[in-house]
Every structure is written in C-alpha cells, then in structure tokens.
Structure 1
Amino acid sequence: MKEFDLKKRTKSFTISILNLVDNLPLKYSTKIVANQLGRSGSSVGANYRASLRARSDNEYVSKLNIVLEETDESLFWLEVLEELNVIEKDKLKPLLSEANELTAIFVTTLKNTKTRINKK
C-alpha cells in the first residue's frame, strides 16, 4: 500500500469515528465511550502523519507503535459499543472491519521495519 493511500485511509478512519461519536445516543455510558473513542480514533490519523516525518528508523518505529496502540484502542471501544447495543450493528460493522484491517497493516509494517533495521 502506498504511503499516500494509508495517509488518506487513516484520515478517513478518523473522520468516520468522529461522525459515529457525534451520532451516539446521549447516555452516561455512551458519553464515556464517546470520549475515549473520539480521542483514540482521532489520534490514529494524526499520529500516522507524525510517523511519516520521523527522523530515523527508530523514531518511525516508536511513532508507529503509538498508531498501533491507538488503532487497537479504537477497536476496543467499537467492540464495547457493539456489546452495549446502543447503535445499529450495520453502522459499526464497517468501522470494526477498518480498525481490524488497519491494526493488521500496522503490525505487519512494524514487523517488516524491525526486520529491515536488524539487517543493517
């Protein structure tokens, strides 16, 4: 996947998360989840862009690990929403799928980058 495509994709994920958060029902439990999901989901795109500006391979790995953590946290909160049954499953399904795919991409990217670094 090209860098630009992933940059666009993480930004799109962030926007989709924020749109979901804006449309959650107003309940105390969803307010807690919305806050956490909004923070982690918006962090994915921002931190991915920051990783692209890394000054070294080690800095890139460090920043990309943050992206992975935030993506996985977003996935967790999406799963919580699914189990709370506060939003239609068809609205969550694409975001759950995207969070899983992005997680897999970042895990693979980190693994490949670490292998490349260790070969130097």
Structure 2
Amino acid sequence: MMSNSIIKIKSFEFAVSIVKFYRQFSIKNKEYVLSRQLLRSGTSVGANVREALNAQSKPDFIHKLSISQKECDETIYWIELLYATDYISKEEFDELISPATEILKIIRSIIITSKKKL
C-alpha cells in the first residue's frame, strides 16, 4: 500500500526529529522526566508502524497500528504539556506538533480503511 510506505517514512523522520530534539533539549534544560516520555512515545510511533507492516494478518495489522495511534496521541500530549509549561517555544511547538498531527491523521485514516476492508 502506498499509504503504508508514506507512514513508514514519515514516522521514521519524525522519530529522528524527536531524538535530535531530545538530545538538544535535555542538555539545554537539564530536564529529563518529561523529555524522556516524549522520546519514548515519539520513537515508539514508527516502531509500531514497522510492526504493523510486518503483521501476520489484517486484524494484527490494525492492532499494531492502533498501538502506534495511541503512542502518537501520547506524543502530542507531551508536546502540548512542554509548551503549556513554558519548556518549549511556540516555534519548537509548531515544529513538533505539525508532523505529529499529520502522522496521527494518516494512521487513523489507514485504520479506518483497513477496518472497512475486513
């Protein structure tokens, strides 16, 4: 599926940006609890997309992608929390939230389409 390769690429690129952000953020702010949560959930999105793409069945694919959806939504939560508590600027917020929101929409769309095909 074309959308699967798009989500594979976008989720990997997002994970790379999260790792880079975490490295800079944790050095600059000496804050490790919230940023580590962001690192964990943000990199988990792509890992679960990869698992979904290697699923053994359509229900397994939907299940793995649903985990990815949850991780993506959690990542958005941590980004919003970091912004609301003044740990990150509006620019940093926009740089992180935009791809996260786009990925979440793509994942939700793939899940809906896959469920209809069951």
- Stretch deviating more after TM superposition (42-51 or 85-94): 85-94
Partner of 1:26: 29
Deviation (angstroms), 1:84: 1.3
> What percentage of aligned pairs have identical amino acids?
32
Deviation (angstroms), 1:88: 2.2
Counterpart AA for 2:114: T
Distance 1:45 1:36 in 2: 15
- 1:76-98 Cα deviation digits (max 9, x unpaired): 00001111112222122021011
Q: SS state of the match for residue 5, structure 1?
A: helix
Distance 2:73 2:117 in 1: 24
CA RMSD of aligned residues (A): 1.3
Partner of 1:99: 100
Match runs of 1:37-116 below 5 Å: 37-116=38-117
* Structure 2, unaligned runs of 5 or more: none
Counterpart AA for 2:88: I
Distance 2:32 2:84 in 1: 15
4+ residue runs over 3 A deviation: none
Distance 1:48 1:2 in 2: 12
* Structure 1, unaligned runs of 5 or more: none
TM-score (norm 2): 0.90
